[in-house]
Amino acid sequence: MTLRLSGVTYRYAGARRNALDGVDLELAPGSVIGVVGPNEAGKSTLCLVASGLAPVVVAGSLGGSVTIDGRETVTMRPHELAQRCGILLQRPEAQLSGTAATVFEELAFGPRNLGLPLLSVVERVEASLATLDIAALADRDPTRLSGGQAQLVALAAILALRPAYLILDEPTSQLDPQGTRLVGDALRRLAAENRSAILVVEHKTALLDRLADRVVLIDEGRIVRGGPTVEVLDDPALAGHGVEPPPRVRVQAALAAAGLDDIGVTDQLLAELAS
């Protein structure tokens, strides 16, 4: 049971070059993979391809193989993909249906599309609201939310479909530190308790530092570095790819630069900085 990309190349219809080039990736249940990289590196394309929406919905040519639980995504219909692999897009406001009068109904949109019994729909909505601690937003008009609130609602709407795999494209880009921490905690719980497999694109490396099991660095459509989170995020080469290292790494680097790397900064303090 994995989401696997093998030698994947992807080129958007009408584009001259590949947006992804020879990408290999494996996402197993209960694991969290962080994706970092500069702008235009191919991170969002990776999300679309991994979720199967490209090329099934987004026109383009796919090379290599993308499988979800052993099935090629190109052979699956969009609603089948949606139940297995949820994707959160970069702009949450574009992800909302635009037809729901309340956040509660917005979250019910996906489960209702599946034709689930009403009781299941209600239970899923309530569970999603609770997971992200946004029950207070349930009666609000989804079109009148702040950016951060819309981001949480869009994520909750995906969770309501209960996919085994979650592909999140900058899920905290509009959130304040508290909201970011909340999302981080929720994702960690989903991975640990529900065995959800999560691929998360993030510029906030501090979040990945405490959330991801592994991190991949992507640049110009290729995975240029991948491995356990600490190894990748500690790599000084990260900054050369336009990725800011997490605070823990920057503090260590600053101490080292000042010749103070032997003052005994404890792991606990660094962990505090990371969180």
Q: Is there binding between residue 97 and another protein (CB under 8 A)? A: yes
- The reply on whether position 13 binds another protein by CB under 8 A is no
Residue 130, Cβ neighbours under 10 Å: how many?
12
Give the interface segment with another protein, choosing from 25-33, 45-53, 242-250, 259-267 (CB under 8 A). 45-53
Binding to another protein (CB under 8 A) within 162-221 occurs at none
Q: Which is nearer to another protein, 82 or 190 (CB)?
A: 82
Pinpoint the alpha helices (H) of the chain.
43-51, 53-56, 78-84, 92-95, 103-113, 118-131, 147-159, 177-193, 205-211, 229-233, 247-257, 267-274
Q: Tell the smallest beta-carbon distance from residue 37 to another protein (Å).
A: 21
Choose the stretch contacting another protein; rule: CB under 8 A; options: 25-33, 78-86, 229-237, 240-248. Answer: 78-86
Which among 89-97, 174-182, 192-200, 225-233 is the span making contact with another protein, rule CB under 8 A?
A: 89-97
Nearer to another protein, 100 or 215 (CB): 100
Q: Are strands 3-12 and 20-27 parallel, antiparallel or unpaired?
A: antiparallel
Size of the site for another protein (CB under 8 A): 47
Contact set for another protein, span 121-160 (CB under 8 A):
121-122, 138-139, 143, 157-158
108 binds another protein per the rule CB under 8 A? yes
User: Which residues 6+ apart lie within 8 Å of 23 measured at CB?
Assistant: 5, 7, 8, 9, 46, 49, 64, 218, 221, 222, 223
Residues contacting residue 159 through CB under 8 Å, at least 6 positions apart:
86, 127, 128, 131, 132, 166, 190
Q: Crossing angle of helices 267-274/247-257, nearest 10°?
A: 130
Which residues does residue 225 pair with via DSSP β-bridges, in sequence order? 217
Tell me which residue has tokens 């090629």. 72
Collapsing DSSP to helix, strand or coil, 133 comes out as coil
Going by their DSSP bridges, the two strands 60-68 and 71-72 should be labelled as: antiparallel
Query: Considering the rule CB under 8 A, would residue 46 count as an interface residue with another protein?
Result: no
Across 187-199, b (16+ Cβ under 10 Å) vs e yields beebbeeeebbbb
Token pair belonging to 193: 């308790």
Which one of 86-94, 169-177, 253-261, 265-273 is the stretch in contact with another protein (CB under 8 A)?
Answer: 86-94
Q: Which of 53, 187, 212, 233 binds another protein (CB under 8 A)?
A: 53
Q: Which of 117, 236, 259, 264 binds another protein (CB under 8 A)?
A: 117
Q: Is 77 in the site for another protein (CB under 8 A)?
A: yes
Does position 83 interact with another protein (CB under 8 A)? The reply is: yes
Minimum separation from the CB atom of position 112 to another protein (A): 4
Shortest distance (Å) from residue 93 CB to another protein: 9
Instruction: Using CB under 8 A, list all residues that contact another protein.
Output: 48, 51, 53, 56-58, 77-79, 81-83, 86-87, 89, 91, 94-102, 104-105, 108-119, 121-122, 138-139, 143, 157-158, 161
